[in-house]
Chain A
């Protein structure tokens, strides 16, 4: 069993994480990788940057708990959770959840459980810096938690 939890400012390499999960318990039957990106929805190009704050110590403990809970519930061979902090730009990778198992159903479900639960329980907060109308200075806002995320987490 290979469980890895990392909170870091640096970017991550999907191929490297995939190969690690694949090799840790060769031959595993399935690897599911999810990566979350900084998005810029409506109106286009309004987002300048995102600042991710977290609670050092508690963040790592909560992510470790998610990994442990997933491992207890599904038959898994390995899990990797990476979450970035600090300043990020549109299109940047924010989060990675990787799961390896003998069969795809366990890997798919466990990855979705980890991601849904992370969204509502891991102590991270996003602050967006947005472009205002031409000529005015950019302004920053804390992102509000979404009820839809809470509902997704509750299904588990």
Chain B
């Protein structure tokens, strides 16, 4: 039996989600835009799913734009805001903690004439509030920040940032990359006060290939994908009722599981650390003390993250490495470096991520494997 501790990379769908998806694939195959009865049945299934999805996300269905996933949603938010003819300047504020989906899109936007400011992180991995306030002294076309960092679980202070924006630059919209937030922390779009929010289905147990961008009506945005006018012209492309239904169910399960997950993940992560301590394994916790509990970033002294990932993989225990290195250039981890960690620590980083399905026995087994590997392979 394998032990899966990489839910942040992709979560495992529950049997109920798979059953819904499989059934709808077989039954709801018509195009929801077709006027015949089969098409209308598909449309009805889609509308039903959209309603449920919106409810779980804390917004009205009209705010929901279904996309192919997180990267598309983030691309749409950034490009859709900044490339349209607008009264606001083409200035984008992001942080050094962004996922590549926003980071690389911002870099591309720079080549298109946009100014990009990359705000520094504190040691806890969140946006430095002073730098944020200072950056708002000039008008900007968009603020785009990651809500829960995918590497560390650090949570940016949305309420604080919305308040600052309202005070200093009320017309600048805020986009949150909330891909790792949904299903890990309590969250509602309307209540958040932000203008745009992205998410991805497979991070919380839906199949891959579906994500969303939520948009408040006040936020002006251009579509990214043009075509047949689906989703009121916001995102062209034949809609996918089975995927939407699977997402609706996965989101509902995630909402119900939110509190138990936080409790379980915290317990499991404490159990893991206790087992490491008992064996004398030396490590540094890179995640901040308060975080989205399912994500634990940790660096082992004198042992490369990649080496540990391989060693555990050989025992069918799956975690993620915090940085990718290659023989001649060590590609560090941009986010951990921005938090002020030295190259040696960053090389040793791994990410362990928990789900409700993980058990104490699994964590004990994973800790045993880590301890064995560390004592054999590490030279601190």
Determine if chain A interacts with chain B.
Answer: no
Question: A-contacting residues of B (Cβ < 8 Å)?
Answer: none
Question: B-contacting residues of A (Cβ < 8 Å)?
Answer: none
